[in-house]
């Protein structure tokens, strides 16, 4: 697994594809997870440099996953990009996200952000 | 009181019957009381020995007989037919007068007493009974006249029948009046009952309507959030995929393909903006839009607006000039996103309608308590009559411009409502051919001043 690994947790397939392509364009290797419960499990196994996190997810919501990432010392270098359509929900997160992106998220915007983070990581 | 009332009142389904029985009981009580008083008086006279024993004895006897009769009448009145008790009472009264009087006295001074049972009969038995008693009295008078060998006193007999007539009319009128009164009462009760039922059902309807309104309100909110998500998600996806293609993620594109993608993105953005405007309008109407206030640098507001407008300004070869007065604080307090929306809406409008020249934006302080934005364009201007309604939702200057300039005419309506929500005002000054100036005046709030 490379240093530039990104996990995309988003239940909307189209949006997940766009996020994935934007991160790939920024030089990341990506994996998409559509379900909160699966993501919860997967976060124990991988070391993503970036997690793109939707808040409204089936089974386990984004807020809980953010808490899991923030309390796992293994993942303390992981950057979390919260993607949401609801500014109010982003305000009520229990833990701090590295970046909050308001949907609709532009491909170019996300690619630029990811490139900047990629540079910071490497 | 309860005991007396129970003693006097006789339960009956016929209200007239009940009234007569009650009246009879009163009369029985009065007569009984008088007899008792007489007996007591007689007793004292007896003790004093002032009268002869024979007379006193007959008085005792008569008193006891009358008292016994009263008791019998009381029980008939209570448990038997009321008319019988009344008839017996009236007859008893009449006989008492007739048989205790000398015939001469009956034809003279005592004739007056015979009028009493005539009136009583009308009240106690039935209105017409007065004639029967009057006839009976006439018979007694005739007997007395025969006994004493005198001529029947015709004026007296006439008087009986005249009194019977008056008494009959009086009782009849009273009974009719009472009957009407009872009818009226029944009608009123019926009406009250009907009104009460109508009121209750109207109330029920109101409750139901209110519940429906509440449900509709909830439905509207739900509809809003669904529309918000379901429309914006695919629009966002279209935008993302088009941008991916445009950025040649999936391979190189020809200039024509680039151009087509540019149009897809531009149209998608327009649709997204429209959806956002509709949602904002709906949220404002539902009172669900709340401001998120914070401190922010004025410069952020300006540069965000400039970057949003750059494409349009360059495409139309217009100028966009910013003027900030020294008095305006560099850090402001308010809802930056919504202020951005107000500014972009106004500037976008100004640029849209301007073909030559450009737009000047002035930030300044009209007074100590406020800050203001002027957006001045060199466009065609707005006709006077249109200035009164351009801030109304879904209105544009004329329907043809909707097609030309594309939109629902919600932009200025949202500006107006947002500015109002912020406690400010928005006005327009314009002359045809002289351009337009939109002025937004907002209160200058210090962060700690809120709440």
Residue span of the structural domain in which B183 resides: 2-191
Contact A14 B240 (CB under 8 A): yes
Averaged confidence pLDDT in chain B? 85
Per-residue confidence (pLDDT) for residue B363, from 0 to 100? 93
What is the pLDDT at residue A122? 56
Instruction: Write out the DSSP string of A63-119.
Output: HHHHHHHHH-GGGTT-EEEEEES-HHHHHT-SS--SEEEESSPPHHHHHHHHHHHHH
pLDDT of the residue at B448: 61
Domain A5-121 grouped into CATH 3.40.50.2300: yes
In chain A, what are the domain boundaries? 5-121
**Structure confidence at residue B11 as a pLDDT band (50, 70, 90):** confident
Boundary (domain end) residue, out of B147, B168, B191: B191
Query: What is the ipTM metric for this complex?
Result: 0.81
Residue A42 predicted with pLDDT over 60? yes
What value does the mean pLDDT take over residues B288-308? 85
Residue where a domain stops, chosen among B191, B213, B230 = B191
Chain A residue numbers with beta carbons less than 8 Å from the beta carbon of B232 are 85, 103-104
Query: For residue range B35-46, what is the model confidence (pLDDT) as tens digits?
Result: 889 888 888 888
One domain for residues B20 and B161 = yes
Q: How far is B330 from chain A (nearest CA, A)?
A: 25
CATH number at residue B360: 3.30.565.10
Confidence of residue A94 (pLDDT cuts 50, 70, 90): confident
The helix/strand/coil state of A14 is helix
Determine, yes or no, domain membership for B260.
Answer: no
* Position B451 pLDDT exceeds 50: no
Question: Distance (Å) from the C-alpha of residue B275 to the closest C-alpha of chain A?
Answer: 12
Q: What are phi and psi of B61, to 5 degrees?
A: -65, -50
User: Quick check: A106 and B244 CB within 8 A?
Assistant: no
Choose one of B191, B225, B245: the last residue of a domain.
Answer: B191
- Residue B16, pLDDT score: 84
Q: Give pLDDT tens digits for A67-78.
A: 899 898 888 888
The region, left, alpha or beta by phi > 0 then psi within -120 to 50, assigned to residue A12 is beta
Give yes or no for a contact between B232 and A102, defined as CB atoms under 8 angstroms apart.
no
């Amino acid at each position: 697994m490379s240093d530039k690994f990104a996990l995309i947790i988003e239940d909307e397939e189209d949006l997940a594809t766009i996020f994935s392509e934007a991160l790939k364009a920024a030089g990341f290797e990506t994996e998409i997870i559509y379900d909160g419960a699966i993501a919860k499990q997967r976060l124990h196994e991988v070391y993503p440099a970036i997690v793109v996190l939707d808040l409204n997810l089936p089974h386990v919501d984004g807020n809980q996953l953010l808490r899991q990432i923030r309390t796992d010392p293994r993942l303390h270098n992981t950057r979390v990009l919260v993607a949401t359509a609801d500014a109010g929900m982003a305000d009520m997160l229990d833990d701090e996200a590295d970046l909050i992106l308001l949907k609709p998220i532009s491909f170019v915007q996300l690619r630029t952000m990811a490139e900047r983070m990629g540079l910071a990581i490497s | 009181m309860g005991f007396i009332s129970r003693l006097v009142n006789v339960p009956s389904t016929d209200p007239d019957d009940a009234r007569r029985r009650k009246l009879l009981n009163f009369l029985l009580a009065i007569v009984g009381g008088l007899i008792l008083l007489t007996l007591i008086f007689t007793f004292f006279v007896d003790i004093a020995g002032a009268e002869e024993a024979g007379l006193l004895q007959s008085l005792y006897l008569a008193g006891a007989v009358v008292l016994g009769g009263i008791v019998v009448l009381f029980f008939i009145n209570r448990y038997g037919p009321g008319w019988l008790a009344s008839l017996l009472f009236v007859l008893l009264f009449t006989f008492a007068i007739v048989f205790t009087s000398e015939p001469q006295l009956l034809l003279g001074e005592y004739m007056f007493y015979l009028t009493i049972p005539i009136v009583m009969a009308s009240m106690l038995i039935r209105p017409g009974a007065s004639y029967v008693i009057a006839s009976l009295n006439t018979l007694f008078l005739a007997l007395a006249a025969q006994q004493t060998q005198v001529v029947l006193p015709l004026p007296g007999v006439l008087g009986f029948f005249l009194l019977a007539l008056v008494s009959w009319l009086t009782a009849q009128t009273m009974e009719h009046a009472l009957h009407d009164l009872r009818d009226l009462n029944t009608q009123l009760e019926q009406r009250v009952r009907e009104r009460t039922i109508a009121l209750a059902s109207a109330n029920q309807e109101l409750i139901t309507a209110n519940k429906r309104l509440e449900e509709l309100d909830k439905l509207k909110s739900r509809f809003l959030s669904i529309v918000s998500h379901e429309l914006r998600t695919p629009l966002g996806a279209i935008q993302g995929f088009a941008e991916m293609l445009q950025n040649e993620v999936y391979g190189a594109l020809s200039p024509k393909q680039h151009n087509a993608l540019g149009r897809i993105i531009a149209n998608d953005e327009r649709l997204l903006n429209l959806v956002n405007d509709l949602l904002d309008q709906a949220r404002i109407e539902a009172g669900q839009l709340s401001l998120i206030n914070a401190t922010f640098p004025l410069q952020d507001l300006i540069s965000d607006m400039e970057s949003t407008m750059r494409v349009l300004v360059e495409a139309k070869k217009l100028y966009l000039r910013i003027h900030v007065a020294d008095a305006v604080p560099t850090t402001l307090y308010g809802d930056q996103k919504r202020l951005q929306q107000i500014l972009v809406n106004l500037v976008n409008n100004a640029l849209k309608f301007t073909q030559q020249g450009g737009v000047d934006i002035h930030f300044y302080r009209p007074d100590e308590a406020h800050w203001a934005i002027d957006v001045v364009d060199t466009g065609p201007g707005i006709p006077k009559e249109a200035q009164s309604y351009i801030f109304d939702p879904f209105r544009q200057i004329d329907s043809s411009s909707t097609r030309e300039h594309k939109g629902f005419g919600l932009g200025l309506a949202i500006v107006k409502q947002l500015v109002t929500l912020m406690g400010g005002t928005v006005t327009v000054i314009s002359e045809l051919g002289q351009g337009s100036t939109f002025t937004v005046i907002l209160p200058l709030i210090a962060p700690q001043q809120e709440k």
